[in-house]
Structure 1
């Protein structure tokens, strides 16, 4: 009796759910050549900005050895720029290092996701962890399978690490040869690179408005407020624009509903 009841329940459940649909097609494999092309594009484009870091670091007063050691051992551009930027502004070295450290913590969260995706053996993970940064994570996560993810991660990491360190050395040597980097305006190299990397990511009107408002806030408050405060104020641009966009969307929805009401 119990078996009959279970069978009837299963039949009724199947009837409600309807017939099973066709099986999903397997995700298409991505050619290795396409993965390598994309990975090299990212690695070369971002790796060249190591020159700007070398110049900025030398301008902040770090020696050639210190500058190259940062790129070899830290290897996360945002944290490196944050560290030398704080030092150049006269900040305490411990405070500057702490700020750079917390900025780089996001890489640990990338590592949690990449660990299961790449599936490296325990002996390989410590070496792979050194290459877990924004760019390698983005390329790996964009791939359809483990093989492509490993290939993209490896090619991006290898090309970016090699080029970043070579251009860091070139930038630091060039800055030493030029002497006073402030006289050449090379202290702006770091921020210019950040803007160049950010610009292609601003694909919507809301993102462009938020970025423009942030620039305006920094330009207006920079001569008036202490070091660091203008940047904190600029961060308020994003929630302010999102709030305004939310109100605009709600008002538009109300108007559309009123126009569609036959009464």
Structure 2
């Protein structure tokens, strides 16, 4: 029974890895279009390894924003990975040395989601889901980022191919399952309205920071996550 469970977990991890890695093509092309070279683009994927943060960074740079705004926006979005570590800590312990550093690097939306989707009474399945997804996404994302960066200078405007919409689609896919409750919907709506209002009158990156601030303030005092309906 345990063998079947682990096989199913690995299949789920591989499916998520393939689907997520495909977005690397869009990131690579958009990054080069924003003014970064191939090596800078690959370094972002290798070292930052957080799709939302990377898209935010090149988006601000591409819009002519100040590098400080790009870094701040990227960092704001990346803070969520630290909170994922809190939820995963009981599953991954004990862990030291290089394994701990490697786990920190691959603690992302997808590895966390696949790990915590496994039965709580099956820690082996949760650890398998985490490692297979994290490493799978890491390899796929970096490899396809390189392909996208190499193609970026040859395909012209990424918007002509619809690659500019891939970033928004990726964000929506991550956020949508979390909007099942009225409070989450209200916070998302308020953040969107504020960001849209600030876009014409503030430097690039500021609307995202302001929207993130709204979400943080709205969630202050409500640390307990709402139950997800079955």
Offset of 1:222 from its aligned partner?
3.9
2:143 is the counterpart of 1:131:
no
CA displacement 1:45-79 (0-9 Å, x = unmatched): 22221122112211211111111111112111121
For residue 166 of structure 2, the aligned residue among 167, 189, 192 is 189
2:157 is the counterpart of 1:180:
yes
CA displacement 1:83-119 (0-9 Å, x = unmatched): 1112112222244224323432332333344343213
SS at match of 1:178: coil
Aligned partners of 2:165 and 2:153: how far apart in 1?
16
> Which residue in the other structure is 2:222 paired with?
none
User: Residues 64 and 169 of structure 1 are in contact (CA less than 8 Å); yes or no, is this contact kept in structure 2?
Assistant: yes
User: Residues 54 and 172 of structure 1 are in contact (CA less than 8 Å); yes or no, is this contact kept in structure 2?
Assistant: yes
Offset of 1:152 from its aligned partner?
0.6
For residue 168 of structure 1, the aligned residue among 122, 129, 145 is 145
SS at match of 1:132: coil
> Which residue in the other structure is 1:64 paired with?
38
| Change over 3 Å in CA distance of 1:205–1:82 after alignment to 2 | same
Which segments of 5 or more consecutive residues in structure 2 lack a partner in the other structure? 220-230
Q: Higher Cα Rg: structure 1 or 2?
A: 1
| Change over 3 Å in CA distance of 1:200–1:167 after alignment to 2 | farther
SS at match of 1:124: helix
2:83 is the counterpart of 1:106:
no
Aligned partners of 1:235 and 1:126: how far apart in 2?
27
| Change over 3 Å in CA distance of 1:204–1:107 after alignment to 2 | closer
Deviates more, 1:113-122 or 1:148-157: 113-122
> Which residue in the other structure is 1:49 paired with?
23
Query: How many residues were matched structurally?
Result: 215
CA displacement 1:9-60 (0-9 Å, x = unmatched): xxxxxxxxxxxxxxxxxxx967112211222232222222112211221121
Offset of 1:161 from its aligned partner?
1.0
SS at match of 1:177: coil
Offset of 1:207 from its aligned partner?
4.8
State the TM-score, normalized to the length of structure 1: 0.66
Offset of 1:205 from its aligned partner?
6.1
Q: Which has the higher contact order (CA 8 A, sep 6+)?
A: 2
For residue 132 of structure 2, the aligned residue among 155, 162, 167 is 155
Aligned partners of 1:225 and 1:124: how far apart in 2?
43
| Change over 3 Å in CA distance of 1:115–1:230 after alignment to 2 | closer
State the TM-score, normalized to the length of structure 2: 0.75
